[in-house]
Structure 1
């Protein structure tokens, strides 16, 4: 067809067949006890190579490879990156064995069907079916999103010399358009006291009691965050206690206590500023307690806040053509690999299928939404990867 979009019925059949095949492959994250995603990566790499893409597989862990598939354009157009993760949480705990796709009442059930093999299937079929374009189409099918996001970090390093004009992450969004999401930082707080017999607490320094007072200060920081200006789509930033462990036995004054803290951040809150604020709060409280403490940053990821521009315009046109109305714009409280793509200087949005049960026993995806997502992505490729329009901002 002259708009670069194939018959909707053919799209639906193709994408559902591929999705079912993907669900049948256990790709549970290795670091969560699964077998890894190497079998799934090989299947998709072979398929895309047969479809004419330039394909390479990368990653230091043979059990957790990521796939980069590029279809080069004729020249002079914009380059679109479509990203999705191959790994899932473990199959254990799923209804049935979790690997046999079950279709009921317009839903396909099975581990990863919603999060996010539906997005992978839609991206692959859309990219395969799109007509030749001026710009390049890059699929990055990545490992390890469910644990450390090393897959997206790997592919961004591998693509650092590519001029990428926009990206879409196909995490499930119930066919709404995510333009912003929170970031996060995890910290380990180590509090040291001095051990003594429980009958003589005056001879020791109770690390647990000291930690309680420090956490009072952390709770007060939470109140401070809630009193600041809210983001229009994301609300307020937060801080909370994730885990706590301390002491050795019932008869001994605790000489140590360890706490894990989670800070959910808003656009504009830098990792340095977030840590500095938390350290200031803890230092002020600890000064009165006689305990020593150490704060260690475990991981930090920036928030996403994509400004309107050519990418969102193209997504909206494609979505409206398929769905008959513009997409709902939203912000999400959780984090996705889109945050890493944005950090690399690439405008990025999140758009995925509708469903439910992510990480739960009964995971499912709405089949019609997967077909619609595929059609939207196919139109997006045809639109965005056409000739670069006058006035488009050049990336550095």
Structure 2
């Protein structure tokens, strides 16, 4: 069958610009939102992802987002978390609202530039999924519900989630912060409601030995040797950490190991940074197990004139149970940490967002345009359902 010249040329152009693994399908790029809303969420998402906002460098994206929200007739407050780093709180006619919709605007390194392949509908770049892929549809969803819910909605976008949650901690501790009945957190959850996630405990093993020439190692105390022995004890402990049917096994990851200065020098210092994802129990319980398993190593190095210290990254937190009892949503549990436990208060909490954690933090972080658009609809559905649940509880 012969194609008209114009159709043939268009087909060739689309084929040439597409991934060679897929033929052009115009339905991929069709919108499931009204054209104006589709354009709004794609534009907002692009502007957010185009701005590098690796944790510690969120000033630019925070101020741009504040300006954008003001143009949409929100009242905006900037809370300074540390120098040139701001949480962005936005609301309509009243500051005290029933519902808070929140996510984070910082990303992990390194920065990857934004791209949008209209042929495949794929949108990528650092933060395109985690978590600007939640921020953009959250804003568009709330904007469309303000009148229906009488402006009983607030937005909060925080810094620092990727490195311990200092932004949400600061907001939680803010003397002048409102309290909410419902908080909807945005993270990549494959567009499913999360029923809970593992807890977290981070720590360092720090060893100080005594430097010497490697030809005469008995004249020194090798911090590297001590650290290897300590990590061996942690490998043994990994087989005996608490577990649960809901979350599976507690895991322990040796994230970074540093030691010594050269191959021909007995190492004077060494350290390992370790992350524990708790499937059961408490940080205190696992902390006690770690101390117990390292006590002999610690005693031996001290007898040789060295030191072994444990440095804890905060108090940590146990597994986090999250509300997921909303009809019409698939559910799952996840292994990663979020800001959910960092916001204090007696509120219902939901965790939801487009995109997959399996591509977050990678050089191929991306999601489909339709996922962004569907997220707008899903966030609206979730907000309305949560609002009705809250109303029913108050009546009862």
Task: Pick the TM interval, shorter chain.
Answer: 0.7 to 0.9
Distance 1:149 1:240 in 2: 20
Instruction: State the structure with bigger RCO (CA 8 A, min sep 6), 1 or 2.
Output: 1
Q: Any conservation in 1 of the 2:188–2:354 contact (CA below 8 Å)? A: yes
The residue aligned with 2:186 is: 170
Q: Using a 3 Å threshold, how does the CA distance of structure 1 residues 103 and 205 change in structure 2: closer, same or farther? A: same
Q: Using a 3 Å threshold, how does the CA distance of structure 1 residues 274 and 390 change in structure 2: closer, same or farther? A: same
Within the alignment, does 1:222 sit opposite 2:238 as a pair?
Answer: yes
TM-score (norm 1): 0.79
Q: Any conservation in 1 of the 2:124–2:364 contact (CA below 8 Å)? A: yes
Q: How much has 1:267 moved relative to structure 2?
A: 4.8
The residue aligned with 1:286 is: 298
Within the alignment, does 1:142 sit opposite 2:158 as a pair?
Answer: yes
The residue aligned with 1:375 is: 377
The residue aligned with 1:362 is: 364
Give secondary structure in 1 for the equivalent of 2:40: helix
Q: Using a 3 Å threshold, how does the CA distance of structure 1 residues 288 and 274 change in structure 2: closer, same or farther? A: same
Q: Using a 3 Å threshold, how does the CA distance of structure 1 residues 199 and 118 change in structure 2: closer, same or farther? A: closer
Give secondary structure in 2 for the equivalent of 1:374: helix
TM-score (norm 2): 0.79
Distance 1:161 1:336 in 2: 20
Distance 2:294 2:101 in 1: 42
Give secondary structure in 2 for the equivalent of 1:336: coil
Q: Give the alignment's Cα RMSD to 1 decimal.
A: 3.1
Aligned residues: 359
Q: Using a 3 Å threshold, how does the CA distance of structure 1 residues 288 and 362 change in structure 2: closer, same or farther? A: closer
* Aligned with residue 266 of structure 1, among 270, 279, 286: 279
The residue aligned with 1:239 is: 252
The answer for unaligned runs of 5 or more in structure 1 is 1-6, 321-326
Within the alignment, does 1:9 sit opposite 2:11 as a pair?
Answer: no
Distance 1:286 1:113 in 2: 45
Give secondary structure in 1 for the equivalent of 2:62: helix
Q: How much has 1:89 moved relative to structure 2?
A: 3.4
Distance 1:104 1:63 in 2: 39
Q: Any conservation in 2 of the 1:58–1:65 contact (CA below 8 Å)? A: yes
Within the alignment, does 1:18 sit opposite 2:44 as a pair?
Answer: yes
Q: Any conservation in 1 of the 2:181–2:390 contact (CA below 8 Å)? A: no
Q: Deviations over 1:277-330 (max 9, x none)?
A: 21121113434564531111134542443254xxx33xx24xx2xxxxxx2221
Q: Any conservation in 1 of the 2:181–2:346 contact (CA below 8 Å)? A: no
Alignment of 1:1-396 (within 5 A): 8-10=33-35, 11-24=37-50, 26-29=51-54, 31=56, 36-61=57-82, 63-71=84-92, 79-90=98-109, 92=111, 94=112, 98-130=113-145, 131-133=147-149, 136-158=152-174, 161-225=177-241, 228=242, 230-270=243-283, 272-288=284-300, 290=303, 292-306=307-321, 308=323, 312-313=324-325, 316-317=326-327, 320=328, 327-341=329-343, 343-354=344-355, 357-386=359-388, 388-391=390-393
Q: Deviations over 1:32-57 (max 9, x none)?
A: xxxx3333323332333343433211
Q: Using a 3 Å threshold, how does the CA distance of structure 1 residues 89 and 161 change in structure 2: closer, same or farther? A: closer
The answer for unaligned runs of 5 or more in structure 2 is 1-31
Q: Any conservation in 2 of the 1:168–1:348 contact (CA below 8 Å)? A: yes
Give secondary structure in 1 for the equivalent of 2:232: helix
Q: How much has 1:179 moved relative to structure 2?
A: 1.9
